[in-house]
């Protein structure tokens, strides 16, 4: 059966005018000095505005479609969920034909699936059940896929590690004592373990590529806007991405063929003139003769860089010469500061988008999930202390920036991102693809349950220094398994980057990389 409409549960239909006393409190909080007569005048005018809004109260909001019947599913038992990668188990069958017929898919739990609970890794949001399918969910069901559940994500997708979800840590498939990466750790783990064929992730600072790296699978952050974000919880509109996770480059390309495309103006991140190639056919080339690969120097120059990670990544890229490519070093100086520029943009944007506008965002046309925004906003007013330490830190930092340096840090970060993007573009005018480590070290052990808040937060640092820059620049970036660390046996990832909307070139190089490093 199709899910019912839940909007009456989440927001009041009638808008009531404030009392004069209530309006006086609002004015005082805003720093407005109003005498009694002025307050009465404003109160009467606001009542007129509320009465006018109530004239359209009966008009039904257009929602995203829910085309395929389903039952709500269930919270998995520990026996069904040994790696704690599932948040919710479902069995939603799509069309009887299509490119993904027979493929099982896990959907990250910040992406709406109608009638299925969605908590975004955060206890404060438990109880929300969306009444619509995100556009990407409809896309994959239209192509014959079967959605077998929602995958665990980190608390409000606010960490690159896999221990911040309120339902407990996601365990690494290769060693359950170690980190699986985040915030799409559940998705990458389910693909790595073979429980699903494909998984959806979101990526604001590396959240598809980080767990794909540490789990040894293929994860792509597509060009900004290529895959519609419609119906997923937003965190900062200028860096929000959705992307595919798979066990092979071919399956990743196939999944992107299904997910990419213009969403008829419902997602403000998108361009209307996008064209979606047949990635799976256009990616096939016999050799890389004439291709130039640039290895980014700054991608290795971190205090946390593991020597074996550096050797493995450099060695995995040098093998592309066996396919005819030319491999050279390249410098992108601002790459070393990209993670800082990202913080300038993301923290204040996260505070505003997630906490002040309920995970939907403002200032743009498109689909606005009223039920999501209403539920999230109310939950944060009553259960803010249920938010995990990582998103709490991002919120505090963003709010501090906004209040203490209004109009400065976010705007400066947005302006400086253009310089970073230009340096990437300049390099990509000389090279077809750029390469660097996805993460400069392998997955650390999961922390002890009694870890202090300071150590908890410190352990999250330095994970996403190489992944954050392309969230700012919008270039597509893919993480591929380069090999395994000979000491701890954990996967090492290489990241490849190409020009905007040139995923075809990325897949051409990635497919040869995969073949040449398959025995690593």
Residue-range domains of the chain with CATH? 7-54 (no CATH), 78-333+419-516 (3.90.1300.10)
pLDDT tens profile 364-373: 899 999 999 9
Per the prediction, the chain carries an average pLDDT of 95
pTM given for the model: 0.95
Q: With bands split at pLDDT 50, 70 and 90, how would you rate the model's confidence at 1?
A: very low
How does strand 433-437 pair with strand 292-296? Answer: parallel
Which residues are annotated as catalytic? Answer: 108, 183, 207
pLDDT tens profile 159-168: 999 999 999 9
Q: What are phi and psi of 435, to 5 degrees?
A: -135, 150
Identify the CA nearest to 262 among candidates 366, 112, 373, 143: 366
Asked if residue 254 has pLDDT above 60, the reply is: yes
Mind spelling out the 3-state secondary structure of 368-417? CCHHHHHHHHHHHHHCHHHCCHHHHHHHHHHHHHHHHCCCCHHHHHHHHH
Q: With bands split at pLDDT 50, 70 and 90, how would you rate the model's confidence at 13?
A: low
Structural contact between residues 147 and 105, judged by C-beta atoms closer than 8 angstroms? yes
Q: With bands split at pLDDT 50, 70 and 90, how would you rate the model's confidence at 9?
A: very low
Asked if residue 89 has pLDDT above 60, the reply is: yes
Strand ranges (DSSP E) for 75-227?
A: 86-93, 104-108, 146-151, 171-172, 175-179, 198-202, 218-221
d(CA 166, CA 386): 8
Output the pLDDT for position 496: 99
The residue-averaged pLDDT of 94-108 equals 98
Output the pLDDT for position 14: 83
Output the pLDDT for position 2: 45
CB atoms within 10 A of CB 442: 25
d(CA 316, CA 295): 11
How does strand 171-172 pair with strand 175-179? Answer: antiparallel
């Amino acid at each position: 059966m199709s899910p019912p409409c839940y909007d009456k549960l989440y927001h009041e239909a009638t808008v009531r005018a404030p009392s004069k006393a209530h309006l006086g409190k609002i004015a005082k909080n805003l720093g407005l000095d109003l005498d009694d007569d002025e307050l009465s005048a404003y109160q009467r005018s606001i009542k007129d505005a509320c009465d006018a809004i109530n004239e359209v109260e009966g008009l039904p909001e257009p929602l995203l479609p829910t085309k395929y019947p389903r039952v709500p599913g269930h919270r998995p038992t520990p026996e069904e969920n040994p790696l704690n990668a599932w948040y919710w188990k479902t069995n939603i069958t799509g069309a009887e034909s299509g490119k993904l017929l027979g493929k099982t898919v896990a959907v990250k739990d910040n992406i709406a699936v109608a009638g299925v609970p969605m908590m975004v890794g955060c206890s404060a949001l438990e109880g929300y059940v969306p009444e619509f399918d995100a556009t990407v969910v409809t896309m994959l069901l239209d192509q014959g896929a079967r959605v077998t559940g929602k995958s665990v994500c980190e608390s409000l997708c606010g960490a690159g590690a896999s221990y911040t979800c309120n339902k407990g840590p996601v365990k690494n498939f290769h060693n359950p004592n170690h980190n699986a990466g985040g915030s799409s750790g559940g998705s990458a783990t389910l693909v790595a373990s073979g429980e699903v064929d494909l998984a959806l992730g979101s990526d604001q600072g590396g959240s598809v590529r980080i767990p794909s790296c540490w789990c040894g699978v293929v994860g792509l952050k597509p060009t900004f806007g290529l895959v519609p974000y419609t119906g997923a919880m937003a965190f900062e509109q200028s860096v929000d991405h959705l992307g595919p996770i798979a066990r092979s480059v071919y399956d990743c390309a196939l999944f992107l063929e299904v997910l990419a495309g213009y969403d008829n103006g419902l997602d403000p991140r998108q361009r209307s003139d996008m064209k979606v190639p047949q990635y799976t056919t256009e990616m096939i080339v016999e050799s890389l003769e004439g291709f130039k690969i640039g290895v980014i120097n700054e991608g290795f120059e971190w205090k946390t860089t593991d020597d074996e990670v550096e050797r493995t990544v450099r060695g995995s890229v040098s093998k592309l010469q066996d396919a005819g490519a030319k491999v050279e070093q390249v410098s992108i100086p601002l790459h070393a500061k990209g993670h800082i520029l990202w913080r300038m943009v993301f923290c204040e944007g996260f505070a505003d988008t997630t906490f002040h506008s309920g995970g939907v965002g403002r200032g743009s046309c498109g689909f606005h999930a009223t039920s999501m925004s209403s539920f999230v906003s109310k939950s944060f007013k009553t259960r803010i202390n249920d938010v995990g330490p990582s998103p709490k830190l991002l919120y505090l930092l963003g709010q501090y920036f906004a209040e203490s340096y209004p109009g400065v840090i976010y705007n400066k970060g947005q302006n400086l991102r253009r310089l970073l993007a230009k340096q990437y573009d300049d390099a990509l005018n000389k090279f077809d693809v750029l390469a660097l480590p996805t993460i400069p070290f392998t997955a650390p052990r999961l922390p002890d349950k009694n870890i202090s808040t300071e150590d908890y937060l410190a352990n999250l640092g330095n994970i996403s220094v190489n992944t954050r820059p392309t969230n700012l620049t919008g270039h597509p970036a893919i993480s591929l398994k380069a090999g395994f660390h000979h000491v701890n046996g954990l996967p090492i990832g290489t990241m490849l980057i190409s020009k905007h909307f040139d995923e075809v070139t990325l897949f051409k190089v990635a497919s040869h990389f995969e073949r040449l490093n398959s025995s690593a």
